[in-house]
Homo-oligomer: A and B are copies of this chain.
Amino acid sequence: MTFIEALRTILPKQEQVSVNTTVLEHHSKDVTSYHPGVTPDAVVFPSTTEEVSRVLHYANQNGIPVVPFGIGSSVEGQVVPVKGGISMDLTQMNAVLEVRPEDFLVRVQPGVTRMQLNQHLKEYGLFFPVDPGADATLGGMAATNASGTTAVRFGTMRDNVLGLTVVTADGSIIHTGGMASKSSAGYNLTGLFVGSEGTLGTFTELILRVYGIPEHVLAVRAVFPDVGTATHAAMGMMMCGLTLDRVELVDEHTVKVVNAFKETDFSEAPTLFLEFSGSRSTVDSSFMLAKEILTEEGCTELEFDTDQAVRTRLWAARHDAAFAFSASQPGKKLMTTDVCVPLSVLSDAIVEARRLIDENGLDGAILGHVGDGNYHAVLVVDPEDETDMNRASHVNAEIVRFALERGGTCTGEHGIGLGKAKYLTNEHGESAVLLMRAIKSVFDPNDILNPGKIFL
């Protein structure tokens, strides 16, 4: 019996195992990243935890690599089956299993996307806040410990995943965490699986924290003379204990490119994008204080609104930034840096990143989650052009070096995947990486779970 025949006996329906070239190609790489693709030998579409378990049990016994796949919005090559084998597409497992409004939690399958979930939650007056930009699957978001613009208020995936059903390498089905909002019962397996990028197990169910939809949302665009004053203003607001849902920074050059591409006329200077939410009165009073701080810190232009359409327009230069760069150079790919630094060095880090980009003749946006110290230089690259790629890799490496020397991390929210594996030991030291490898060996002794990722 061939490998494909075996998979067909494991999964009941014909369409659950595919070797179609287009399907294989679609599962070979991240949608937008620069990482070169590698086609899997087969793509499987399980529909239950038990089917995932049977596939893994078979793969483990036969030493076949298995790489989980959602919508492919990972940016560090996490979904690339670098050693071939099976791409496990979880998009058929896309049911919202249970909404528990009074418990502020939901149970979902891993293929549910965040927008799908929010659509579903609307009628309950609830929402799931983690927003990485892409309409990623929740399984994928948990796998990379994704976060995004709302982390300053709602935290990362790790803060919002309360429990998991996970199938480990040998096909064992385990349950971690639960429905309690906190627990001190034994080792934190949930937190270990979140961010493990498919290398410790495949998630087949998630219990997530959800929140009440706020009565009122206020969006703000605040322009500053330089990056330093903008970040300082953000810190001033945090110091006062102001509850900010989002605090984003876009640098001067990025606004210029957005203006050119979208024919807008935003002031071409470093800009903070803020969002407040809550009851009308709490939002108003928070914003009153914020306005005082922003003005004191040198804000030269301030626009704000609560209307959904106006809010979208106000935030356009933030939302369109990466797209403007990428769409202005069709056919190219993105190399997105992702360091996260202590807040006090964020301003210097961003200035240094812009200098590195310019000095190396590259083009790219700079976007920062200022509340977290996490920022991205979104470099537009041609993967076929070796000089281009070398320059971009050099800039990425220098940005990481700058961050690690100051106590930061090489990845705030995208994960290690293929692209950051070379920095893992620099960041954590050899002893810590040895412990990580030992954990990997315990969970996956035959190295079939997304092999070649995280560790060099």
Contact = CB atoms under 8 A, between A and B. Distances in A.
Interface stretch (A17-25, A152-160, A314-322): A152-160
Given A188-B158, A235-B102, A181 B428 contact: no
A431 B201 CA distance: 13
Given A238-B104, A416-B186, A436-B187, A428 B175 contact: yes
Contacts of A414: 184
Contacts of A240: 212, 215, 278-279
Given A175-B428, A432-B175, A285 B289 contact: no
Given A241-B214, A424-B185, A282 B279 contact: no
A175 to B, nearest CB: 6
B185 A410 contact: yes
Q: For chain A, which range describes its interface: under 10, 10 to 19, 20 to 34, or 35 or more residues?
A: 35 or more
A443 interface: yes
Interface string A152-180: 00011011000000001000111110111
A186 B424 contact: yes
B215 A372 contact: no
Contacts of A184: 144-146, 156, 195, 409, 411-416
A180 B342 contact: yes
A382 interface: no
A60 interface: no
Contact of A343 (B103, B412, B443): B103
Q: How many copies does the complex hold?
A: 2
Nearest to A175: B429
A95 interface: no
A406 B145 CA distance: 27
A269 interface: no
A211 B178 CA distance: 29
Contact of A344 (B100, B192, B194): B100
A297 interface: no
Contacts of A372: 180-182
Nearest to A144: B184
A341 interface: yes
Contacts of A407: 178-180
A288 B282 CA distance: 10
A260 interface: no
Given A192-B191, A212-B241, A282-B285, A147 B442 contact: no
A5 to B, nearest CB: 30
A242 interface: yes
Contacts of A410: 185
A103 B345 CA distance: 9
A450 to B, nearest CB: 13
A173 B192 CA distance: 20
Interface string A329-357: 00000000001111110000000000000
A189 B409 contact: no
A428 B176 contact: yes
27 contacts: A103-B342, A103-B344, A104-B238, A146-B184, A155-B159, A158-B188, A175-B428, A175-B432, A178-B409, A178-B427, A179-B341, A179-B342, A179-B407, A182-B340, A182-B412, A184-B195, A184-B412, A184-B413, A187-B195, A187-B440, A188-B195, A215-B241, A241-B278, A242-B279, A281-B288, A282-B286, A435-B442
Given A282-B289, A435-B442, 20 more contacts: A102-B343, A105-B342, A145-B182, A145-B183, A151-B182, A159-B159, A179-B342, A180-B374, A180-B409, A185-B409, A185-B424, A186-B454, A212-B239, A242-B278, A242-B279, A242-B282, A281-B285, A281-B289, A438-B442, A441-B442
